[in-house]
Chain A
Amino acid sequence: MENTIETKNLVLTKEDFESDQMVKWCPGCGDHAILKSVENVFPELGIPKEDFVVVSGIGCSSRFPYYMNTYGFHSIHGRAAAIATGIKLSNPKLSVWMISGDGDSMAIGGNHFIHIARRNPDINYLMFNNKIYGLTKGQYSPTTPKGSKTKSSPQGTFETPFNPGELVIGARGKFFARVVDTNPKLMTQVFKQAAEHRGTSIVEILANCVIFNNLVHGLITGRDTKDDNQIVLEAGKPMVYGRDREKGIILKGTKLVSVEIGKDGITEADLLVHDPSEPDPGIHLMLANMMPPEMPSALGVIRAVKAPTLEDSVYDSIEHEKRTSRIKCVDDLLNQGGTWEIK
């Protein structure tokens, strides 16, 4: 197709995408690992290096474009999704990557977030969720767990947080994945799947802010706790997790529940099999909403449903109008309809 990303056989390496700018995130920040994973994925996509555009908003994560040797746009707070949409509509051949955080995406950019999800332009949206405002030094964000004490919530927050995956699905998004900054292998794999999915691919990255919100994802990422508190979903595979892969997820009544395999006669055949391509969002929503400690947090690609992209529809319409309209140029336009001659 003419109006989409073209891939070629290219020999590119990580070094092709490393910029000469000093990376200024705090030592130990989860963002370093995310950057490395993205640098690993870009050369593998078969996309010419000049065809990448990395767009961000404001926040720690949004410094990202400076650290990538691509076309990049570090924009203003909350607006990257709309900027990225303009870039993609303007030139659909570009591989557009958007970097944002929980404040940037869920608070000031909340409106753009739901609308990009519904419009579905082919953009890869990496949302670093550290559940705190880092760049402004420690105020709560819309994903901060209720009751958390932060600089702007000394008594604990009074607000119910957003769950980004629930918002994506509620906004009729077609792709949602979740990864953790401590698992580079999974990040690389999921970023690649996000790139290959045509449409808005939103990836929530549970990122750690060592300074203001250290270990907020500790249960999900901790060496001793992660196996019981995360499940890595794979398409076509039963939903198994646990240190000894002894646990699984079943649908009981209208709810997902965690079960022990072998207990109460439950076998692997009773477990739900993951199908990210299912258009019905019911199970995907329940998976996105699973929270430790009752349930494991779902990682991997939760939802990936095929649908026309925004630019597909727009450019199809352009092609159609060009073929069928009598107006071929501005002279035609100005002279159509009610004109008259003065001789």
Chain B
Amino acid sequence: MTSKKDRVVELNKAVIRFAGDSGDGMQLTGNLFSDSTAFAGNDFATFPDYPSEIRAPQGTVSGVSGFQIHFGKVDIHTSGDLADVLIAMNPASLKANMNWITREAIIIVDSDAFIDKNFDKAGYKSNPLTDGTLTGHVVVQAPIGTMTKEAVKSLNLDNKTAQKSKNMFALGIVYYMFNRDFKQTFTFFEQKFKANPLIVEANKAVLTAGFNYGETIEAFANTYKIEPAALQKGTYRNVTGNLATAWGLLAAAERANLKLFLGSYPITPASEILQELSKHKELSAIAFQAEDEIAGIVSTIGAAYAGSLPVTSTSGPGLSLKSEAIGLAVMTELPIVIVDVQRGGPSTGLPTKSEQSDLYQALFGRNGEAPVIVMSALSPSDCFYAAFEAAKLSLEHMTPVILLTDGSIANGSEVFKIPKMADMPKIVPPIAPANDPDYKPFKRNPETLSRSWALPGTPGLRHRVGGLEKDNISGNVSHDPKNHQIMTELRQKKVELVANYIPELEVFGDEHADVLMVSWGGTYGVMLTAIEELREEGKSVSLAHFKYIMPLPRNTREVLARYKKILVSEINMGQFVNYLRMSFPEFTYHQFNKIQGLPFMVAELKEKVNELLND
């Protein structure tokens, strides 16, 4: 027998997908694997794929919860197209994921769950393990249920409690496959189940049993190792987009020396922002869970008037409800950051699936001429910087900012290099000094056209604001026709001038190429992966990925003009491409749109570009 050490195959990267019933603990299993991946020094990105029901009927395809991790010694920008390893805890999770694995993928199943009753629930007519469905795959049929029970026998747990550790057996097998260390996972058990030492022991025993099982059964021709990635020096952590958004806002409050006020109503997939900010009273953050979406934003507008860093968080349906109030913030020219974690729509749509279909709503979804800054976050870790930047622009330019993230990056996670606050820019809102004899509520800074922020409680600056049109400079209510035109133009110009304060559009690839791929927001990672692969294959392709949408970067026209063909890819029916058509009608745009509640796959993007190259 060769020793384990001799059978280690080195990989550049791999994708693993954990899948089970929504009560099987797959998210925890995935997160624990992510932690061990971090400690192994790999770059990685993850994505949870869970149903909108908390516990859909057990054993059915609609109840399958998945977690995918893509990790490597190379830079990882996405959670991966297809999985190289699938862990399927029951027939339904096998069925739900057959389209999301490579043709050669290794499949590990809990063979105890592959029984007639479960085939029915999953919609299998026969046993997929024996009927040829899995031809071409290496299938490891592990009786996980039985062996879990066996592993905790000495602890005298009831069967139900014992079976709760089943996921750790599967994790143990994967740890064996990828030569992982248990240490952090054991520490996690010790902390998480501090109150119940028996559960700590059970989880440790089951994880170890799974690992030993992998080693003993000789089902794997080899194990795998992925060397640490060449990450820059520094301190790192794993963040989801929602967590990073919350932290970016806290960072902005600190750099602006303001209290953070979040007014929000729980909504999938944005609730984690509210939950996270509600934890940080020590940083003076107030997270106010309002009675509805409207109260969420208007309480925030109140906080904006009173001098907090004002933030509201929501998803598409909530943004619709906030429309009128956004108009009020436009009219009163107060700062406010509106985070919209986009999900599948319209209406309730696909709450747990991702889409980029709120762009029109962000740009145009209000009565009257109501321009706001619209920007997007590119990836889970970029949510930190995007949220910070949204707050900075909003405060310094006294205008609402809609920050578009999406379900994919909000719930997805990736490695985040922790910045130092001293390296983050200062935020200097235009707060009016007390007793300023020249103070007028709508007098503007000539550079930015922003008015100044006179906070209640400040002597000498008493004034009124409101939703009625204001007289230029004095701020008194005005119905004067010419004044309305002046004020409308000023509000528009103020937002357009923000272009002078945002970075120019950068192009990945060559300055001139046959195809310019264009995209925006949360598709950045997959676009980057696609362009890297295409360029490695020698294709003449570049990528322009937009973070800022209203206003667009100053050099947008100049960039678009340099390329023979422009292909705009989005997870919607073409909202950004139409916005570009409206803004720069002189160019011809090709478009690629996918609207399935799923992210782009690298392969399909490449195919689309290749089609255009060969056209």
Check if A and B associate. Answer: yes
Residues of A within 8 A of B (CB): 19, 21, 48-51, 53, 55, 58, 65-66, 69-76, 79, 82-91, 93-94, 111-112, 115, 314, 317-318, 320-322, 324-325, 327-331, 333-335, 337-343
Chain A residues contacting B421 (CB-CB under 8 Å) are 329-331
Q: How far is the CA of A69 from the CA of B460 in the complex (A)?
A: 11
Other-chain contact of A83, B39, B234, B302, B457 (Cβ < 8 Å)? B302
Contact in complex: A86, B477 (CB < 8 Å): no
Contact in complex: A82, B233 (CB < 8 Å): no
Known: A76-B324, A342-B41, A342-B231. A50 touches B461 (CB 8 A): yes
Contact in complex: B464, A66 (CB < 8 Å): yes
Known: A85-B299, A330-B254, A338-B35. A90 touches B236 (CB 8 A): no
Known: A321-B281, A338-B238, A339-B237. A330 touches B466 (CB 8 A): no
Q: Of B105-113, B288-296, B538-546, which stretch is located at the interface? A: B288-296
Contact in complex: A86, B306 (CB < 8 Å): yes
Asked whether B419 is an interface residue with its Cβ less than 8 Å from the other chain, the reply is: yes
Q: How far is the CA of A89 from the CA of B261 in the complex (A)?
A: 9
Kindly report which residue of chain A lies nearest to residue B463, judged by CB atoms: A71
Q: How far is the CA of A341 from the CA of B41 in the complex (A)?
A: 9
Q: How far is the CA of A45 from the CA of B528 in the complex (A)?
A: 63
Which 10 A-B residue pairs are closest in the complex by CB-CB distance?
A86-B302, A74-B466, A86-B299, A325-B282, A90-B306, A82-B295, A72-B464, A83-B302, A71-B456, A321-B282
Contact in complex: A91, B466 (CB < 8 Å): no
Contact in complex: A73, B236 (CB < 8 Å): no
Chain A residues contacting B463 (CB-CB under 8 Å) are 71-72
Q: How many A-B residue pairs have CB under 8 A?
A: 198
Contact in complex: A51, B466 (CB < 8 Å): no
Contact in complex: B237, A337 (CB < 8 Å): yes
Shortest distance between the CB of B613 and any CB in chain A (Å): 38
Contact in complex: A82, B302 (CB < 8 Å): yes
Contact in complex: A90, B459 (CB < 8 Å): no
Chain B residues contacting A75 (CB-CB under 8 Å) are 298, 301, 328, 466-467
Chain A residues contacting B155 (CB-CB under 8 Å) are none
Asked whether B211 is an interface residue with its Cβ less than 8 Å from the other chain, the reply is: no
A-B contact pairs, 16 of them (CB 8 A): A50-B462, A53-B305, A66-B466, A82-B290, A86-B306, A90-B261, A90-B302, A90-B308, A111-B291, A112-B295, A318-B282, A322-B281, A334-B237, A340-B38, A340-B236, A342-B233
Known: A66-B477, A111-B291, A330-B250. A94 touches B306 (CB 8 A): yes
Shortest distance between the CB of A87 and any CB in chain B (Å): 4
Other-chain contact of B302, A70, A87, A337, A341 (Cβ < 8 Å)? A87
Asked whether B458 is an interface residue with its Cβ less than 8 Å from the other chain, the reply is: yes
Shortest distance between the CB of B282 and any CB in chain A (Å): 4
Asked whether B202 is an interface residue with its Cβ less than 8 Å from the other chain, the reply is: no
Contact in complex: A87, B281 (CB < 8 Å): no
Known: A112-B295, A321-B281, A340-B38. A71 touches B462 (CB 8 A): yes
Contact in complex: B298, A339 (CB < 8 Å): no
Q: How far is the CA of A335 from the CA of B239 in the complex (A)?
A: 12
Known: A53-B456, A74-B465. A333 touches B325 (CB 8 A): no
Kindly report which residue of chain A lies nearest to residue B229, judged by CB atoms: A342
Known: A51-B456, A86-B261, A342-B231. A327 touches B325 (CB 8 A): no
Q: How far is the CA of A72 from the CA of B466 in the complex (A)?
A: 8
Q: How far is the CA of A199 from the CA of B235 in the complex (A)?
A: 47
Kindly report which residue of chain A lies nearest to residue B234, judged by CB atoms: A342
Shortest distance between the CB of B26 and any CB in chain A (Å): 20
Shortest distance between the CB of A62 and any CB in chain B (Å): 9
Chain A residues contacting B284 (CB-CB under 8 Å) are 318, 322
Other-chain contact of B233, A19, A48, A314, A343 (Cβ < 8 Å)? A343
Q: How far is the CA of A321 from the CA of B286 in the complex (A)?
A: 12
Q: How far is the CA of A337 from the CA of B237 in the complex (A)?
A: 9
Kindly report which residue of chain A lies nearest to residue B254, judged by CB atoms: A330
Other-chain contact of A342, B232, B325, B464 (Cβ < 8 Å)? B232
Contact in complex: A85, B288 (CB < 8 Å): yes
Asked whether B572 is an interface residue with its Cβ less than 8 Å from the other chain, the reply is: no
Contact in complex: A340, B476 (CB < 8 Å): no
Shortest distance between the CB of B595 and any CB in chain A (Å): 33
Q: How far is the CA of A72 from the CA of B247 in the complex (A)?
A: 32
Other-chain contact of A340, B39, B251, B328 (Cβ < 8 Å)? B39
Contact in complex: A338, B464 (CB < 8 Å): no
Asked whether B280 is an interface residue with its Cβ less than 8 Å from the other chain, the reply is: yes
